[in-house]
Structure 1
Amino acid sequence: MRKLIFGMSVTVDGYVAAPGDDLSWSAPSDELFQWWLDQERAIALFLYGRRLWESMSSYWPTGDQQPGATPAQVEFARNWRDTPKVVFSSTIETVDWNTRLVTGDAVAEITRLKAEDGGPMRVGGATLAGAAMRAGLVDEYEIVTHPVLLGGGKPHFTALDSWVNLNLVETRTFPGGVALTRYETRR
């Protein structure tokens, strides 16, 4: 059985994007970017909702060719292109870059993928992750908290049907007051 990880940057008041999908508050330091790269290298399959897919696919297919790209950004772009991806959307018609589109029941497909043998999967996008959380499919949470308050926007966590008890397995701080807390789901 595969592990399912939900990890995103979040504000202190619990948002992953400001109104208008503004992510400018979440620009990572070099050290944090390297940490994300190290995490992504260990992932065997990315699971994206539509909005996160559109954001990632608008930059990372050619991120290694951008002027001034750091070695970590070059590696991140290559890893992103090479790692298999599944996009869950009923509005997108085509996807590229080692990606498969699923237009049906996301929870059923994630459940099927999780039951397979293979390396860990990362679910990205608060809406898609929320559905996986409500279904009890998320095994690990990587919460990277940035020291900013937005007062509104896209929430990191959606409403749950019941409590999810967690075990703290790691904490770490990064430049600029960014803090990682990593939890495993207590089963």
Structure 2
Amino acid sequence: MGKLVYVTYVSLDGYIEDESGTFAWLPVDDEVFAFTTDLLRSAGTFLYGRRLYESMAVWETDPTLAARSDLMADFSSTWKAASKVVYSTTLDAVSTADTRIERSFDPAAVRELKATAGSDLTIGGADIATQAIKAGLVDEIQLFVLPIVVGGGKPWLPTGMRTDLEFLDERRFKNGFGYLRYRILEQ
């Protein structure tokens, strides 16, 4: 059985996108990039919302990214090795291998996916992660906190619910990023 892990980057004031819907303020350096790649390497399946999938698909569709550095090649290889599930009502087709579209988030199907998984699964995209957290499916939250305040935008966590967490790990990076890892306690 695999764990479902919500991995995300967030501003200090709690947003994954600024008010204009961008996240260009995510300056990831080599140390953070390598650490992120190592985290994702253990996942066999990535669950994405449409917008996050479309921004990540370039790791397979643009071979020039992997050619830029060994770190980028390693990330590209890690990303391509995982299966992907994209939750979208508007996406007509996927541009990457081993990827399927689901028209709606079905908690029972994700529960079954977790139960039969030989490795962990990650979930990304605030909307889809919120649905998974509210359904009691997320086992861990792995959060990269950036040293920036963006003043508003899309929050990384759902509102209107309480969830108790157990602190598992932390790491500080030279560029000011912080990594926090929590286990979600029974809801």
Q: What's the TM-score once normalised by structure 1's chain length?
A: 0.92
Query: Hey, what does 1:66 align to over in structure 2?
Result: 65
Query: Hey, what does 1:31 align to over in structure 2?
Result: 31
Query: Hey, what does 1:180 align to over in structure 2?
Result: 179
Per-residue Cα deviation, 1:35-63 (whole angstroms, up to 9, x for no partner): 00001111011000111011111x21145
Per-residue Cα deviation, 1:122-180 (whole angstroms, up to 9, x for no partner): 0010000000000111100001000100111111112243x211111111101221101
AA in 1 matched with 2:182:
Y
Query: Hey, what does 1:99 align to over in structure 2?
Result: 99
Flag the 1:173–1:91 CA change in 2: closer, same or farther, 3 A: same
Query: Hey, what does 1:45 align to over in structure 2?
Result: 45
AA in 1 matched with 2:116:
E
Which ranges of structure 1 fall in alignment gaps of 5 or more residues?
A: none
Identity of aligned residues (%): 34
Which ranges of structure 2 fall in alignment gaps of 5 or more residues?
A: none
Is the 8 Å Cα contact of residues 45 and 120 (structure 2) preserved in structure 1?
yes
Aligned length: 185
Write the distance in 2 (CA, Å) between the matches of 1:44 and 1:151: 35
Is the 8 Å Cα contact of residues 142 and 183 (structure 1) preserved in structure 2?
yes
**What is the deviation of 1:20?**
2.6
Query: Hey, what does 1:14 align to over in structure 2?
Result: 14
**What is the deviation of 1:21?**
2.4
Matches within 5 A, 1:85-164: 85-95=84-94, 96-161=96-161, 163-164=162-163
Is the 8 Å Cα contact of residues 10 and 143 (structure 1) preserved in structure 2?
yes
Is the 8 Å Cα contact of residues 2 and 118 (structure 2) preserved in structure 1?
yes
Task: Answer with 70-79 or 107-116: which moved more.
Answer: 107-116
Write the distance in 1 (CA, Å) between the matches of 2:125 and 2:90: 16
Write the distance in 1 (CA, Å) between the matches of 2:126 and 2:59: 20
Q: What's the TM-score once normalised by structure 2's chain length?
A: 0.92
Is the 8 Å Cα contact of residues 66 and 73 (structure 2) preserved in structure 1?
no
AA in 2 matched with 1:3:
K
**What is the deviation of 1:81?**
1.6
SS of alignment partner, residue 20 of structure 1: coil
Root-mean-square deviation (CA), in Å?
A: 1.6
